[in-house]
């Protein structure tokens, strides 16, 4: 028999030393550092930055859309509608590009100083606000309001220019004389306006239209400063309560003003805050069923659709009141009246705005 050949065994590999367990002499690895929470001041800076950027973006958007609406106004598809739509798309793309650029710039700024992004954003908002609120751009925002407000805003702009035209026709000389006559009655009118929370310039405009600040009894039954005629008893009672008297005396200018303020507020609320309809209802009063009945009879739903059905006096009444109210507002602000047709007075007067609108 042949002898078996011994197989050579490979030497066993030395055992690897086991990793040190907890409690052994080896130090454990250091845990990762947790991100420090943002301090309150940093949160405040982030909120300030976001708010400033939002203000700048809103103002810039209003300006661009208003300017586009002014420049591209018209019914033509290729000349107005399509270019405006393309402009809106370009505005969206530009906003996205600016946002991306800001995110990159912000990292660079934040690496220098923590407050730099917020400071730059506030500066951007302030400069944008100054630019778009500059006097020459008032009409741009008028076009923006018309764009958003649609038919109602367009009607409001048309009526506003009727008021400006009426103010221009009055003449500075006649208005100044009326301002002087009003001085004796202004304290009572101011008190009545505060008591019933109505615009004092509107009350002054009503008094100017009704009596030219020359209280008298008229042939149609009107009495005193506001030519008070048929007033519902509930309104008279309300005025008496505010005056703390048993019965109002309409020949007393103060009582007369309180009754007028209560009556005007009543009709303004009845017309859901519509200033033109409220003034028209005040002038018409309860006769013929009142303005609400007349509007239902003719199917009218606002002052513009109601105007053609009215005679000259009721139709022009709100315009006359507001033109006088505008004069009082100008006189209170500047201590003088401005000739609408001179220099840039028209723009200044339009910037000041019509009382109540």
Mean pLDDT of 58-72: 81
Structurally, at CATH architecture level, domain 151-352 sits in Orthogonal Bundle (1.10)
Cβ proximity of 49 and 123 under 8 Å? no
Cβ proximity of 121 and 49 under 8 Å? yes
On the question of pLDDT at 4 being above 70, the answer is no
- The residues of the chain that CATH labels 1.10.530.10 are 151-352
Give the count of beta carbons closer than 10 Å to the beta carbon of residue 300: 18
Summarised one tens digit per residue, pLDDT across range 182-221 is 999 999 999 999 999 999 999 999 999 999 999 998 888 8
Output the pLDDT for position 227: 93
Query: Mean pLDDT in the chain?
Result: 84
* Nearest-angstrom CA–CA distance, 188 and 256: 9
179 contact partners, CB below 8 Å, separation of at least 6: 327, 328, 331, 337
Output the pLDDT for position 15: 53
> DSSP assignment of 73-90, as one string?
-SS-IIIIIHHHHHHHHH
Mean pLDDT of 323-342: 94
Mean pLDDT of 160-187: 94
Question: How many angstroms separate the Cα of 179 from the Cα of each of 251, 293, 324?
Answer: 21, 36, 10
Higher pLDDT, 1 or 63: 63
Output the pLDDT for position 151: 65
The pTM for the full model equals 0.68
Angle (CA) 277 158 164, round 5° = 90
Mean pLDDT of 105-111: 84
Summarised one tens digit per residue, pLDDT across range 127-143 is 888 887 765 566 677 77
On the question of pLDDT at 70 being above 70, the answer is yes
On the question of pLDDT at 278 being above 70, the answer is yes
Cβ proximity of 63 and 57 under 8 Å? no
């Amino acid at each position: 028999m042949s002898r078996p050949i011994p197989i050579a065994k490979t030497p066993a590999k030395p055992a690897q030393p086991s990793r040190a367990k907890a409690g052994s002499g080896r130090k454990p690895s250091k845990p990762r550092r947790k991100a420090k929470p943002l301090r309150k001041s940093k949160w405040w800076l982030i909120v300030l930055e976001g708010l400033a950027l939002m203000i700048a973006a809103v103002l810039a958007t209003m300006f661009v859309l208003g300017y586009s609406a002014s420049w591209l106004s018209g019914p033509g598809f290729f000349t107005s509608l399509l270019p405006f739509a393309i402009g809106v798309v370009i505005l969206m793309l530009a906003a996205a590009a600016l946002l991306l650029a800001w995110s990159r710039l912000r990292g660079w700024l934040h690496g220098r100083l923590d407050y730099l992004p917020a400071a730059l954003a506030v500066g951007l908002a302030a400069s944008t606000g100054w630019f778009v609120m500059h006097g020459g751009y008032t009409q741009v925002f008028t076009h923006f309001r018309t764009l958003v407000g649609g038919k109602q805003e367009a009607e409001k702009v048309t009526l506003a220019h009727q008021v400006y035209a009426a103010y221009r026709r009055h003449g500075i000389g006649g208005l100044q004389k009326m301002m002087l006559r009003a001085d004796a009655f202004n304290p009572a009118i101011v008190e009545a306006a505060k008591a019933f929370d109505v615009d004092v310039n509107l009350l002054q405009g009503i008094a100017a239209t009704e009596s030219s600040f020359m209280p008298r009894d008229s042939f149609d039954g009107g009495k005193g400063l506001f030519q008070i005629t048929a007033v519902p008893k509930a309104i008279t009672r309300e005025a008496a309560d505010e005056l703390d008297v048993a019965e109002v005396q309409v020949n007393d200018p103060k009582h007369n003003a309180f009754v007028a303020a209560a009556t005007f507020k009543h009709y303004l609320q009845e017309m859901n805050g519509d200033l033109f309809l409220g003034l028209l209802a005040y002038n018409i009063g309860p006769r013929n069923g009142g303005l609400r009945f007349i509007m239902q009879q003719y199917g009218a739903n606002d002052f513009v659709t109601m105007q053609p059905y009215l005679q000259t006096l009721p139709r022009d009444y709100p315009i006359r009141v507001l033109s006088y109210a505008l004069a009082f507002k100008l006189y209170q602000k500047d201590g003088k009246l401005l000739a609408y047709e001179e220099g840039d007075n028209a723009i200044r007067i339009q910037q000041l705005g019509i009382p109540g609108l």
